[in-house]
Amino acid sequence: MERGDASTMSSQQEVKKIVIATGKRKTSIARAIIRPGYGRVWINNIPIEIYPIKLARLKMMEPLVLAGKKIWESVDIIVNVKGGGVMSQADAVRMAIARGLVEYTGSEELKKIYLDYDRSMLAGDPRRTEPEKFMRRSARRRWQKSYR
């Protein structure tokens, strides 16, 4: 195979772009795989359109709605999320999708839209729960003190 043949062969093949992004909130961790497609989104193998918790579904769809129909319908997104509660998982998924779309499109305009709407879509929240202390029922609670 000559050098000219290899270059024509590589130009004929399309390079498919795949982006893996992560999002974290409290103890939830979401991993999103974004690739070219038809606008389908799955959260733990459940299509986002039939996700059972409506408020969480709306929260997870925010980055897609802000990105616009043109971007949304050109990608397929598969998200695996574990840990934490329902809304914590929704926030983690939202962050993973937003970060992935910004990386996939490479658009500074989209990044600015997300930052103007809600900074927590791209920037993480470092707050965590304080651990429970020895011989106590919670992190700060102490035994009641009686003076008489």
Q: What is the pLDDT of residues 106-140, one digit of tens each?
A: 999 999 999 999 999 999 888 888 999 998 889 99
Residue that the structure tokens 């930052």 belong to: 115
Q: How many CB atoms lie within 10 A of CB 104?
A: 22
**Three-state SS for 19?**
strand
Query: What's the pLDDT at 18?
Result: 93
Instruction: Find the domain containing 87 and state its range.
Output: 16-121
Query: What's the pLDDT at 6?
Result: 52
**80 occurs within a structural domain:** yes
Residue that the structure tokens 């299509």 belong to: 47
**pTM for the full predicted model:** 0.82
**140 occurs within a structural domain:** no
- pLDDT tens digits for range 54-74: 999 999 999 999 999 999 999
Structure tokens at 133: 């202390």
**8 occurs within a structural domain:** no
Nearest CA among 75, 83, 77 for reference residue 43: 77
Indicate which CATH number applies to the domain containing 98: 3.30.230.10
Look at residue 1 and tell me whether its pLDDT is greater than 50.
no
**1 occurs within a structural domain:** no
**87 occurs within a structural domain:** yes
**6 occurs within a structural domain:** no
Q: How far apart are CA 10 and CA 79, in angstroms?
A: 31
**Three-state SS for 20?**
strand
Query: What's the pLDDT at 145?
Result: 87
As a 3-state breakdown, the chain gives helix, strand, coil percent values, each rounded to 5, of 45, 20, 35
Mean pLDDT for 85-90 is 95
**70 occurs within a structural domain:** yes
- pLDDT tens digits for range 4-31: 555 544 455 566 789 999 999 999 999 9
**90 occurs within a structural domain:** yes
